Amino acid sequence: MSSASPKAPAARLRGLLPDWLNDPKVWRTEILAGLVVALALIPEAISFSIIAGVDPAVGLFASFTMAVVISIVGGRRAMISAATGAVALVIAPLNREHGFGYLVAAVILAGVIQVALGALGVAKLMRFVPRSVMVGFVNALAILIFMTQVPEMHDVPWAVYPLIIGGLALMVFFPKVTTVVPAPLVSIVILTVITVTAAIAVPTVGDKGALPSSLPVPGLPDVPFTLDTLTTIVPYAFAMALVGLMESLMTAKLVDEITDTQSSKTRESIGQGIANIVTGFFGGMGGCAMIGQTMINVKVSGARTRLSTFLAGAFLMVLCIVFGPVVSDIPMAALVAVMVMVCFATFDWHSIAPRTLKRMPAGEITVMVVTVICVVATSNLAIGVIVGSVTAMVIFARRVAHVAEVSAVTDPDGAGVVYSVTGELFFASSNDLVGRFDYAGDPDKIVIDLSAAHVWDASSVAALDAIETKYKQRGKTVKIIGLNDLSADLHDKLTGELTNH
């Protein structure tokens, strides 16, 4: 008894911890994945800082705090959040017109708005995003990631091109040898060694901007705490909150499908807000989920836990502060090769295969194409998702508007007629309902049987009221039967209350 008792607390502790903590293979995968993502984050964060018009350290600090905080409070394991181009585009005008202090204040307020929206259940709206929009979102994302790499391949020394090709070849063939070490990390290390030892003059990470030499320090934004300041930052903060949530929730949904696991979208929404609040107090530019880096982490490196997300942020600061000179020598060609591979892996090639297109309904293809065009044209994933979803709803409404059918059966003695209505009655289908009855020619007694129909909205109730009114004007009686419980509830509440007549 005495020899077993010391082991009992340890056994209980192991029972409380995730299974992967006891698996060395998972540790290795998560650590190496975090390192690869950290390396890929550095040039991206610097580039987004330039877009926002701030010092490169601001974007790097934001990527550090976003990744570390979201790894703890986020709702989607293995997803990477950091400084992003979409957020940079939203807040750049504010920084340009009012200064950096206002930008930081807007980031904090955006975080507060995201927490509020998350608590109100905005994440539930994701159920209304159709699959065709999701496919268009993924394909547009792959195109956008590739387009961001094009400048790194334009007007550069000729040596950049064989380095990119070599990096791609390594990532394709190295996994056939072993998967112990992620192929992107091998590619980055080998290309860096080649360019440094051979003194090949090509653009490097250091050319993007100076790396920070110390950790960020928390503080309040340097702005007057007045109503005027609030009215200035609210529009930018609200736009940032919506864009950030849209991209994060769409990314979470994509990772759910890739990993065949479920995430808490409500927790992710609130977590994004908390991460942005913390980032703002540390002087960062804010951010959201990064789809490119998430694909590196999940799809290319095989990460599945929060550890990789946490380490991506932690390694980012270690690489910048401790190994800054070494990281600065990494050729951009190595990171371009990684991102090109991500594009190829992200794009849903099956969705554009001729066999798929032949079987897919025209409306679904239209929605996918509209989503891709909007995202690529605006460089804003949120706009593409909104426009694509609205397009899908319009197409769906047009399709089901013609589903409602009306058939009439007259009594043998000619004293009455029964109209059977079949289908879904809502604003689109009920508009045509009124014209499907023979008000002048029908006998005095009319029965409308809705046993095979469902009344969804006030427009349908108003249509039924209009039908009754038209018959009453001709001295005829109408009886509505067969309403299911929900339809009867709605009809009883609204009938006779929708017009002044």
Q: What is the DSSP letter of 204?
A: B
What type of residue is 106? Answer: A
SS3 labels along 370-431:
HHHHHHHHHCCHHHHHHHHHHHHHHHHHHHHCCCCEEEEEECCCCCEEEEEEEEEECHHHHC
Residue 285 CB coordination number (10 Å): 35
Average pLDDT over residues 331-352: 85
Q: Does pLDDT of 151 surpass 70?
A: yes
Q: Dump pLDDT digits (tens) for 355-376.
A: 888 888 888 899 999 999 998 8
- Give the pLDDT of residue 395: 84
| pLDDT band per the 50, 70, 90 thresholds, residue 430 | confident
Average pLDDT over residues 423-438: 80
- Give the pLDDT of residue 128: 75
In terms of average pLDDT, the best of 19-28, 309-318, 402-411, 442-451 is 309-318
Q: Dump pLDDT digits (tens) for 269-321.
A: 999 999 999 999 999 999 999 888 898 899 888 899 999 999 999 999 999 99
Burial class (CB in 10 A: 0-12, 13-18, 19+), 380: buried
Number of helical (H) and strand (E) elements in the chain, helices listed first: 20, 6
Residue ranges of alpha helices (H) inside 53-159 are 56-73, 85-98, 100-119, 131-149
Q: Are strands 416-425 and 405-410 parallel, antiparallel or unpaired?
A: antiparallel
Q: State how far the Cα of 76 lies from the Cα of 248, in Å rounded to an integer.
A: 10
Q: State how far the Cα of 142 lies from the Cα of 375, in Å rounded to an integer.
A: 11
Q: State how far the Cα of 369 lies from the Cα of 352, in Å rounded to an integer.
A: 10
Provide CB contacts within 8 A for 188, sequence distance 6+: 36, 39, 167, 330, 334, 335, 338
* Total residues found in the chain within this entry: 501
Q: Does pLDDT of 1 surpass 50?
A: no
| pLDDT band per the 50, 70, 90 thresholds, residue 137 | confident
Ranking 215-224, 409-418, 440-449 by mean pLDDT, the lowest is: 409-418
Compute the Cα dihedral for 197, 199, 202, 205 and give only its sign.
positive
Q: Which pTM does this prediction carry?
A: 0.71
